[in-house]
Amino acid sequence: MRKKTDGGHAIPEEDLREMEQEEGREMPEGVESQTGYCRFCGQGGVVHTMMGWGQDEVNEAVTCRCQCEEAKKYAESKERVQKAKSRIEELFSSTAEKPIDQSVVNIMFRAVDAIEEKAMKGITIEVGQGIKARVSKMAKESIKVERSEVQKKTYEE
């Protein structure tokens, strides 16, 4: 059985029971329960957030937890992008063993977004000093981040 909320969205009975149980729990200071809605199916859900989250942020969190097919695909895509950007940070940014210029790192971040949106398949950047940065989409939808360093020795006599 579904009940309607003030916003006109239907909430399944099991979610209503969960919401009622959570109401009885004490929240840590600075945390509150907020209701949001999946951007794909409109399903309502409750998330615990830090004080001051806007409705868009709450809806985003609920969307990422929703079990509808579109939300699952969206959450997987968002996770792929986040993992790829974290790997770029690890391999190339100021915390890397041999960091490269931040402007190049920013280009790579934008490339990850373009790759996930299927605007391109990959990018290779020759940074200089034998360093190449490559970001590409793999067959199973994962995003590959690669750093290669070539040491060339040429002798001319």
Query: Which tokens go with 146?
Result: 């690669």
Answer for the pair 111, 135: CB distance below 8 angstroms, yes or no: yes
Share of the chain above pLDDT 70, in %: 83
- Predicted local distance difference test score (pLDDT) of residue 97: 87
CA gap 90, 138 in Å, rounded:
20
Count: domains in the chain: 2
Q: What is the pLDDT of residue 143?
A: 96
Same domain, 48 and 108: no
**What is the pLDDT averaged over residues 88-110?**
94
pLDDT at 15 over 70: no
Burial of 15-30, coded b for 16+ CB within 10 Å and e otherwise, reads bbeeeeeeeeeeeeee
With respect to residue 40, please indicate whether it lies within any of the assigned structural domains.
Answer: yes
| Model pLDDT, residue 156 | 82
**pLDDT, tens digit, for every residue of 122-140?**
999 999 888 999 999 998 8
DSSP 41-58: T--EEEEEEETT--HHHH
> Domain end: 43, 67, 91, which one?
67
- pLDDT at res. 4: 47
End position of a domain, from candidates 37, 67, 97: 67
Residue 66 scores a pLDDT above 80: yes
Is the pLDDT confidence value at 34 over 70?
A: yes
3-state SS class at 82: helix
Tell me: do 80 and 142 sit in the same domain. Answer: yes
Sign of CA dihedral 48, 54, 58, 61: negative
Q: Which amino acid is at 140?
A: K
Instruction: Compute the 3-state secondary structure of the chain and give helix, strand, coil in percent, each to the nearest 5.
Output: 40, 25, 35
Examine the pLDDT at 25 and tell me if it is beyond 70: no
Co-location of 137 and 97 in the same domain:
yes
Both 137 and 103 in a single domain?
A: yes
**Domain assignment of residue 33, given as a range:** 2-67
Domain assignment present for 130: yes
Q: At what angle do helices 69-92 and 102-116 cross, to 10 degrees?
A: 160
